[in-house]
Chain A
Amino acid sequence: MARARGSRRRLLVGGVLALLVLLVLAALASIVVGARWIPLAHVWSAVVAPTGGHDDVVVRSLRVPRTGLGVVVGVALGVAGAVIQGHTRNPLADPGLLGVSAGAAFAVCLAVYAFDIPSGTGSVAFALGGALVASVVVFALGTLGGGGGTPVTLALAGAAVTAFLGALTNALVLSDARTLDAYRFWAVGSLVGRPDAVLVQILPFLVAGLLLAAVNAPALNTLQLGEDVARGLGQRLGPARVLGVASVTLLTGAAVSATGPIAFVGLVVPHVARAITGPDHRWLIPYSGLLGALLLVVSDVAGRLIAVPAELPVGLVLALVGAPVFIALVRRRTLAAL
């Protein structure tokens, strides 16, 4: 018995290493491959000894930043998906469930409409703020009934706030062309053209969100047994919920602020991860993060190759890839009961 558990542990550690290797390979591909064909030797010289030519600029100002953003945002969305699905015990929950994406979208529009702050680093701060506020409101509404809120009341409050913010966003977008411009740019879900400073700006929030997720993992395991059993085992539900919601909000808020809404990563990746790791969130969370990064970077590279000389934004690629993958997952087996 002990030996079996030990070998499973070795297997899971090996899986993490394998995913890391795959992620490094994907990141390298993302730097080498693109709509413009650049020989390997030129890519290398762009990295180590740039002279400021066309190829150098493509590698340094386009490919490297989007690769970095892809890895970071992929990790965030994957982990956020695992945490939200764990907390709601709902296999169809995605990180936008708590109104985070809708809050960020509304804040981006408000920044342009009311304060004349165009897209860029300024609106990232706004989007983050919007995501946090929306999430706090959803949590407050969802827990009004007392008892720390159930997954159902949280999901309902999230849906209501999302719908309300969506209506407000539409009102702003329809009444002002400049707001529409900014929203349209943001809402595509793309890793391209985001100022370099954005990555630095969101990093602290992502790190905080990841730490909270790690702390939250054991509680998530207990919660899977049902709330009554969890309580019986001495798990205090309220603090665990607050921790989880905070983690999802920080991770998703930071991710969508930087790239706009990117669908399916947070929804699909935890299912794939669960198929590998089983229900133990101490493994499920890191696997979801790595798989999320891998999926996002690979999809971004694919988007550059499908439509040469044009590009498909990664949000679009994921919608195209994600839907069939999700249906396949659902059909292959009953989703790991949560």
Chain B
Amino acid sequence: MRFRGVPAALAALTVLAGCGSGGGQGGGTSAATSSGSFPVSIEHTFGSTTIDAEPARIVVLGWSAQDVVYALGETPVGMPSYSYGGGDDGVLPWDAEHFDRERTTLLDTTDGPPLEDIAALRPDVILATYEGFDRATYDDLSEIAPTVAYPGEAWTTSWEDQTAMIGTALGRSDQAQQLIDGTKAALRQVADAHPQFADLTFAYTSMGADAFYLYLGQDPRVRLIEALGLTLDPSVDALAGAGDTSTFYSQVSLERAPEITADVVIGFADGLTASQVETQPIYAQIPAVQRKSAVILDDEEFGAAVSSVSVLSIPFALGTLVDRLASAAGHAQA
């Protein structure tokens, strides 16, 4: 039975997230907060931010930060409204069960952080660990409340770093570490349950009518698939090498899409439906598509889950992904 490991892994994660909520409701009496001794200092790309006391009113910005806050059992007073993957109400599906309209204001961040709206929420802390704003915006935010910005380059925070940073900021480092370990264990469990993944190479692509993109080694999507046991195919680097200098993706001419020789190709249908991608003559030339070992995805919620990887979105993504990967793997080996 090939899919045996998946339900178990998902169950483990659910338990984990659930235990987070339990810990938080108690208002700081549970063991989870025992690691919290304030003040704490957190390093980020614009310097270091010190938080003096356990924050009660939390505003999150950027991608996925609310996922970690929820998983740690807290509720933000303000979080971004997500147009991509968030459906009509702007709440990502894996946040929906935690989201409480009475307690959390959705912020329109289309034109950057809305400073007045954020100030009106009187936050104790602003968590923007997976963001890309500039120093001026950081300075503006810091005048409202202590702001934890992203580490390193814009929009490149790993889900592990994001979880750890938010854990520290909320005085719950231990609990955050448990979330990270638990998520990694769940990923490992999927890998163990599908030993065939270890023998396969993959490419993660975006397939549009006039543009073809390859995601490279540092991309969170690629790292997620690697965590399931597959190896990034050498043809990805060979093809992308001379192109874009970005370390996360590379645009490649449609003409060369079939040069991707990975065992399994994961393709995000960009502006097309999955069947439109599969019937486009040039994509139909990709060996994995011909073998039916390609996973073509056009579900926006799923796209958001794999694009903004977090302790909550990973379980959501695995639900769809693992079965389809396993099926593709079967065709790759046949």
> Is there contact, CB below 8 Å, between B282 and A61?
yes
> Is there contact, CB below 8 Å, between B285 and A57?
yes
Chain A: residues with Cβ within 8 Å of the partner, total of: 33
Enumerate chain A residues within 8 angstroms of B134, measured Cβ to Cβ. none
Nearest CB on A from B73, distance (A): 30
Enumerate chain B residues within 8 angstroms of A174, measured Cβ to Cβ. 110
Assembled-state Cα–Cα distance A308/B242 (Å): 7
Which one of B210, B244, B258, B259 has the greatest number of beta carbons of chain A within 10 Å? B210
Assembled-state Cα–Cα distance A185/B273 (Å): 14
Assembled-state Cα–Cα distance A139/B252 (Å): 43
> Is there contact, CB below 8 Å, between A177 and B83?
yes
> Is there contact, CB below 8 Å, between A36 and B110?
no
Within 8 A of A (CB), among B74-92: 83-84
> Is there contact, CB below 8 Å, between B281 and A309?
no
Enumerate chain A residues within 8 angstroms of B83, measured Cβ to Cβ. 176-177, 180
A185-B208, A185-B271 in contact; A310/B254 too (CB < 8 A)?
no
Q: Which of A180, A181, A184, A309 contacts B253 (CB under 8 A)?
A: A309
B300's nearest neighbour on chain A, judged by CB, is: A177
Enumerate chain B residues within 8 angstroms of A313, measured Cβ to Cβ. 210
A58-B282, A307-B243, A309-B242 in contact; A119/B271 too (CB < 8 A)?
yes
> Is there contact, CB below 8 Å, between A62 and B255?
yes
B122 at the interface (CB under 8 A from A): no
A304 at the interface (CB under 8 A from B): yes
Query: Which one, A188-196, A205-213, A247-255, A319-327, is touching chain B?
Result: A188-196
B250 at the interface (CB under 8 A from A): yes
A177-B84, A188-B210, A190-B210 in contact; A309/B282 too (CB < 8 A)?
no
A57-B285, A182-B271 in contact; A304/B253 too (CB < 8 A)?
yes
Q: Which of B253, B259, B273 contacts A308 (CB under 8 A)?
A: B253
B251 at the interface (CB under 8 A from A): yes
B4 at the interface (CB under 8 A from A): no
Q: CB-CB contacts of B210-243 with A at 8 A, as 1s and 0s? A: 1100000000000000000000000000011011
B83's nearest neighbour on chain A, judged by CB, is: A177
Nearest CB on B from A324, distance (A): 25
A333 at the interface (CB under 8 A from B): no
Enumerate chain A residues within 8 angstroms of B242, measured Cβ to Cβ. 308-309
> Is there contact, CB below 8 Å, between B271 and A311?
no
Nearest CB on B from A166, distance (A): 17
> Is there contact, CB below 8 Å, between A35 and B253?
yes
A193-B210, A310-B243 in contact; A36/B285 too (CB < 8 A)?
no
B209's nearest neighbour on chain A, judged by CB, is: A193
Q: Which of A34, A176, A185, A311 contacts B251 (CB under 8 A)?
A: A311
> Is there contact, CB below 8 Å, between B282 and A62?
yes
A149 at the interface (CB under 8 A from B): no
B135 at the interface (CB under 8 A from A): no
Assembled-state Cα–Cα distance A193/B176 (Å): 46
